[in-house]
Structure 1
Amino acid sequence: MENLYSKLYDKYNKLKTRKDSDLDRYNHDQEVKFTDYMAAVEELVNCLRSENDRLVTKNQDLMNELASVRADRSDKEELCVQYEKLLTEETRKGKELSEEVKKLRNLQQEWLSCSARVRYNENGQMESPRGTYLESGQISSVSTRKRHSADEDPDSRGKLPVVTETEKDSHTGLRSDNDQSIQKESCCGKVISSGDSINANCVFHTLMEFLIGMKFEFVTKADGPCLSALHQSSGYSFTLMWLTKASENEPLELLYHVLSLGTFERIAPEWMREDLIFSSSMCPVFFKRVSSVIGLHL
C-alpha cells in the first residue's frame, strides 16, 4: 500500500508541477500582451492628442482668416458704395457736361449763322448780329454797359458779346456821313468794304485762325484793344486785353481772362481758369500752351 501511495503522490506532484508551470507560462504571456496593449494605447493617445492640438490650431487659424475675410468684405462693400456714389456723381456731371456741350454747339451754330448773314447797310457801314463797330467814344459807353451787364448776369460768362438789332439801330444815327468805310472779315476770309478791295489784314487774320485753330475777333473797349478768341469744337473762349502802360519804357502787358472752358472744364490746368497778366514776349509761350491743351481735344 505504501508503494501505491508513493506512486500516487509522485504522480500528483508531477501533475501539479506541470499545471503550475503551464499557468505561469500563460500568465506571463498575458502580461506581455497587456504590456504591449498598454504601450499601443498610450502611443495612440499621444497621437490623438497631437492631432487634436493640430486641429485646434488649424481651427483657430481658419477663424482668424474668416474674420479677416469678413473685414475685407466689409471694406470692399464700403468701397463699392463709394464707387457707386462716384459713378452716380460722374454720370450726373457727364449729363451736365453733355447739356453744356449741346448749348455751346447751339451757340456755335448761331454764331456761324450770324457770321454768314453779314450785310452792308446803306451808309456804307458794316453790321452783323455779332457786333457793331462804333467810334471810340461810342464803343467806350457800349463796352462799359456790356461789362456791367456781364457782372450782373452770371449766365453771361462764357458767351461772346452779342449786340442786338435794336442796339445797332440805336447807334446807326451816331455816325457822320463822312465816316470812312470799315472793313470786316467774314468766316471765309473775304473782305467786304465800300470798294470791295482785298485787305492784307484779312489774310493775316485768317492765317492766324488756321495756325491757332481758333476764331478771333478784335474789339476796341474803353480799357483798350481786346482780342476775343473762340475754339468752336470745344466751346473754350477767352479774351486778351492790351493793358495801358504807365510810361513808354515799360513793356507791353496783356490780360488773359477766360470766358468759358467748355468741354475743357475738367481737364483744364489751373492757369487756364485764372486771370493772368503777362508781357508781350510771353505770347509765343502762351499760345503754345493753349495749343497743347486744344490738341487734347482732337
Structure 2
Amino acid sequence: MNLCDNVRDFSYAVFDYLSEVFSYELGFSELGLTDHFIVKLARFSRRVPFKVEVYKTSWQVETVFGNDIDLFVEDASGQYDWYALQAKVMSHKGQFKDLKIKLGKKTKKGGRVFKLQQWHKLLLHEHLFGSQAFYLLYVGKSKTNFPTAAPIKHDCRGLAPLEDYGLSLVPALDIMNTVTRTTPLQFNKVFPNLTVPISSIICCPGALPPTSSAARKFNRDEIDTSAYKLVYARDEDEDPYQGLNHPDNFRPNGFAKVRIIVGRNLDVTSAR
C-alpha cells in the first residue's frame, strides 16, 4: 500500500468509526484521532522512510498560533507546501462545538473587549511564516444535521467519495467567514463547496490553490526539525527526547508540536 492509499484507508476508517460512535450519541476526542493519525504515518515511515518523516516534540504547550500539526508536502518541483493544521472533531449532532465566535469580556460601558479568535491566529501564521492555514475536521455520519449533498470535488484521482472526507480540510479563512456567534459550526455549512479530503494534498501535491498571497514554497533544508525527535519504534526504557529539554533546544514560535514531512508520491502523480 502506497502513502496515498494509506491516508485514504485511515480517512475511511475514521469516517466509519465516528459514524458508529455517533449512532450511540457519543463523542470522541480530536487528540485521540490525531494520535491515531500520527501512529498510522509512523508505521508507514518504518517501511518507506524516505517517503514520510514524522517528528514530535516533548513540549506540551500549544503554539500561540493554534496549529496542532505542521504538514509539509513535496510537489513536482521538489519544493514543499507548509500546511498549518488545527484539528477539530465532529459531534453526533454534526457540529464542531469550538468553531463559533467567542465574545470578549464586557466593559463598564456595556460593550465588549475585542477577542482574538483562533482563526485570526491561524491566518496571522500564514502571513508571518508563508504557511497555508487549514482546519482538519474529523468527520463521520452524524445523527442530525448531516449534509444531503453529494461530494463535488475532483482531484488527480477523480471524484472523491464521501468516506474520503473522514479527514477533511477547510481553509481557516472560509471558517472565519462561515462561523456564527450563537451556534457551533455545522459540517453542512462547509460541505461540499468549501471542503476537500486531506488525501487530495497527499495524493495530488499542488492540487489546491494557495490560501493566500503570502503562501510560499519551502526547500527541504528550510524545514527545521532541530527541536524535534523522529517518531519511530524504540525500547521502552529509551528516552525519545534525549537532550531536547535543554534550553538550547526550544520550539520556535509558530512551530506545531508535530511536524510531518511528506515526499512526492510518485505512485500517483506520475500517472497524472
**Greater relative CO, 1 or 2 (CA 8 Å, sep 6+):** 2
Give 1 or 2: higher strand fraction.
Answer: 2
- State the structure with more CA Rg: 1
TM-score (norm 1): 0.23
- TM-score normalised per structure 2: 0.24
